[in-house]
Amino acid sequence: MTRKPHVYGNWKLHNTLNASEELAEAIAEGTKNYAEKVNIGVAPVFTSLVNVRRILGEVSHIKLLGQNGYPKPNGAFTGEVSFSLLSDVGCDGVLVGHSERRHLFGETNKLVGEKVESALQTGLEVILCLGESLSEREEGRTWEVVEEQLESAMFHVPPVSREKLIIAYEPVWAIGTGKTATPQQAQEVHALIRGKIRESWLGDAADKVIILYGGSVNDKNAKDLFSQKDIDGALVGGASLKPESFISIIQAASESQQ
Ligand code: PEP
């Protein structure tokens, strides 16, 4: 089955309002010709979401994503932003369980699962991020860790929401480090993830699910990663902050379809 590649940019904690608007404008302009072949998305900081939505327009070939959310719709949760509020400001989707959330802010598999459930109930597309640390890989525990992250989150995905779930395999040791997993290393885990989904979900759901790779993807390594059978695109951090490199990665994704 051919799956439409997806390339999503995670802007992390970068960019003022003005810088976000300029970046969104440049990406929207530079990617028009790829819209038919590639699903594109950007995840700005919360404070830029409303303005980036305005720059992109209500109907855009670029999806607007939140970087995180809280599983309760409202209440006494100072400092948090709920998935329903993300939806209210025009987000199409949201990252859940990014490694920086798990490792710097202590998010557990249980909390990530609750977030997946709440975000899907709100109607958002969920990009579920998972991946092993360097020590877990060195101890030969990569699949044990990734399988547990996947299982505990999939439990929260009702059949009606399956097509709104995207998986991003992001080995922690490759995020922001300049060390990319080799295409073979990434493909191996992607195939295991798809196999696990095949075991759990009946029908052709596993063939349809989009599995992105993330971890120092750039305009030089994207083509080889996208040539792998189970790699359906990328979640891009650093290289999504420069329009030229992000657009080159999107171009590589569109060419992987030819
Ligand atoms: C990310 O933030 O999800 C990411 C993969 O970052 P980078 O591309 O900078 O490694």
**C-beta separation of 46 from 12 below 8 A:** no
Q: What is the pLDDT of residues 76-104, one digit of tens each?
A: 999 999 999 999 999 999 999 999 999 99
Please tell me the distance between residue 76's alpha carbon and the centre of ligand 1 in angstroms.
Answer: 32
**C-beta separation of 164 from 126 below 8 A:** yes
pLDDT at 155: 84
178: Cα within 13 Å, side-chain hemisphere: 0
Q: Which residues are catalytic?
A: 98, 170
pLDDT at 179: 87
Q: Which residue, judged by its Cα, is nearest atom 6 of ligand 1?
A: 237
For the record, the structure tokens of 142 come out as 């990569």
| Residues pairing with 135 in the sheet | none
For 6-90+106-255, CATH number? Answer: 3.20.20.70
**C-beta separation of 149 from 117 below 8 A:** no
| Cβ 256 under 6 angstroms from ligand 1 | no
For the record, the structure tokens of 35 come out as 């819209």
Domain ranges of the chain: 6-90+106-255
| Cβ 170 under 6 angstroms from ligand 1 | yes
SS3 65: strand
pLDDT at 59: 79
- Provide the strand spans (E) within the chain: 6-10, 39-43, 62-66, 93-96, 125-130, 165-169, 210-214, 233-236
For the record, the structure tokens of 48 come out as 């830029």
For the record, the structure tokens of 75 come out as 């209440």
CB-based contacts of 17: which residues, under 8 Å, 6+ apart?
A: 47, 48, 51
Q: Closest ligand 1 atom, CA of 100?
A: 2
pLDDT at 1: 66
Give the residue ranges of the chain where pLDDT is below 70: 1, 258
| Cβ 97 under 6 angstroms from ligand 1 | no
pLDDT at 134: 95
Report the distance separating Cα 172 and Cα 174, nearest Å.
5
pLDDT at 258: 65
Q: How far is CA 48 from CA 37, 216, 239, 252, in A?
A: 27, 24, 19, 28
Report the distance separating Cα 209 and Cα 227, nearest Å.
17
| Cβ 230 under 6 angstroms from ligand 1 | no
For the record, the structure tokens of 40 come out as 């594109």
Please tell me the distance between residue 230's alpha carbon and the centre of ligand 1 in angstroms.
Answer: 19
CB-based contacts of 36: which residues, under 8 Å, 6+ apart?
A: none
In this structure, what are the phi and psi dihedrals at residue 191, rounded to the nearest 5 degrees? -65, -40
